[in-house]
Amino acid sequence: MIKQKDGFLGERSIVIPPMIVKMEEEDPLVSSLYLTDIGYYPHATHHYRDRKEAIDQYVLIYCVNGSGWYRIDDKEFQVGKNQFFILPADQPHCYGASEDNEWTIYWIHFRGYNASIFANGAQKPQEISLALNSRINERHNIFEEIFSTLEHGYDIENLRYASSLLYHYLASMRYLNQYRMANKGKIEKEHLPNVVDAAIHYMKENIENHIRMQEVVKYVGYSTTQFTTLFKRQTGYSPLSFFNRLKVEHACHLLRTTDMKINTICYKVGIEDSLYFSRLFSKVTGMSPTKYRENQTVNP
């Protein structure tokens, strides 16, 4: 049996202290839905958890890359990229990353008298496929806002805000069609995108992943030569160069707005090699990630 690995490069997690969980339980607003643990594990090699003793929390695991598995009541399920599942409270379970394709996951433990509403029907893998109105990156931003709020302290206002965001985050999955339709008016107003716009949308939705240009070409339905020529004509950049610039742009945002370590930001923009990330960042911005963050501190 593979043992749980202690720590993954780039991982982030918060375990809320029991005293604070008690505050959540007793607050009239927060008690309806609140989290007890939250985290992000990129490329979680040998990740494995076996809870023979049940816990009183629901466990959401959202796989954004790679693959894994989980088991409830002797039933085993496979889960892959852009799928999530919610393990029921008060039931033993186990789960882990695939040996040959370790997963990258966002995870949350949550409770509250409304918690079961969001967990209902999600014991089997749920698909979040990429589409024109998928809003995957927006969902990741909600997660980051929850995480950042809790990083700044556990006063009751922060807990209430985190609880409110958790409603939004879980609703974006439980009510997937409604979450996507809410953006429909904006898309219609801007009209259906052309091929280049569609490709950029695909890149932004996969900003945390390492994707090949063949995947982008397949998504838009063009030949590689046609697409590359058209893309460069409209943007001035090759598709790969443009995607790298999007990654650096997102990294700049994370450096400005979060306290994430740089090796975590690497994974958040789909780059595993921190030296390559630093070289790419310096090439695009003219300075290292560390220097960029220092400049933001000095000149906010």
Q: Calculate mean pLDDT across residues 61-88.
A: 94
The pLDDT confidence band at residue 6, using thresholds 50, 70 and 90, is: very low
288 pLDDT more than 90: yes
The identity of residue 144, as a single letter, is E
pLDDT at 217: 87
d(CA 210, CA 101): 13
Q: How confident is the model at residue 63 (pLDDT cuts 50, 70, 90)?
A: very high
In whole angstroms, give the CA distance from residue 296 to residue 231: 33
Q: 3-state DSSP helix/strand/coil percent for the chain, to nearest 5?
A: 50, 20, 35
Three-class DSSP category at 127: strand
| Whole-number Å distance between alpha carbons of 37 and 124 | 22
Please count the CA atoms within 13 angstroms of the CA of 249 that sit on its side-chain side: 9
| Secondary structure class of 3 (helix, strand, coil) | coil
Domains of the chain listed by start with CATH number: 12-181 (2.60.120.280), 193-298 (1.10.10.60)
Q: What is the pLDDT of residue 299?
A: 46
Per-residue confidence (pLDDT) for residue 186, from 0 to 100: 58
Phi, psi of 270 (to 5 degrees): 75, 25
